[in-house]
Amino acid sequence: MTVRVLYFASLKERAGASAESVEVEETADVAALWKAMQEKHPGLREMTTRPLAACDMAYASWDRPLRGVTEVAFLPPVSGG
């Protein structure tokens, strides 16, 4: 299955992209996707802490299964206001 992966702010710069389509296993969860993206983008490997994740525009835990999810976003700590 294919998911759309989005990156924002500093993560976008680390990944070198704001969005990409990624093929994932049916059984994968958010943590597995993040690990695969770190392998793909060297800039993401330097991070010492995990970012926040959102599945289809709602905050998601790292063990959230990706089955049925179309969009996953990785988010640095927010700084709006």
Query: Which segment (3-11, 22-30, 34-42, 62-70) binds other proteins by CB under 8 A?
Result: 3-11
Pairing of strands 71-75, 19-23: unpaired
Distance CA 57, CA 36 (A): 21
| Nearest residue (CB) to other proteins, 21 versus 79 | 79
Distance of CA 23 to the CA centre of its chain: 13
Residue 12: both structure tokens together: 């976008």
Give the count of alpha carbons within 13 A of 23, CB side only.
Answer: 0
Confirm or reject binding of residue 81 to other proteins (CB under 8 A). Answer: yes
Mask of contacts with other proteins, 20-59, x by CB under 8 A? ----------------------------------x--xx-
Q: Which residues bind other proteins (CB under 8 A)?
A: 6, 8-10, 13, 54, 57-58, 73, 75-81
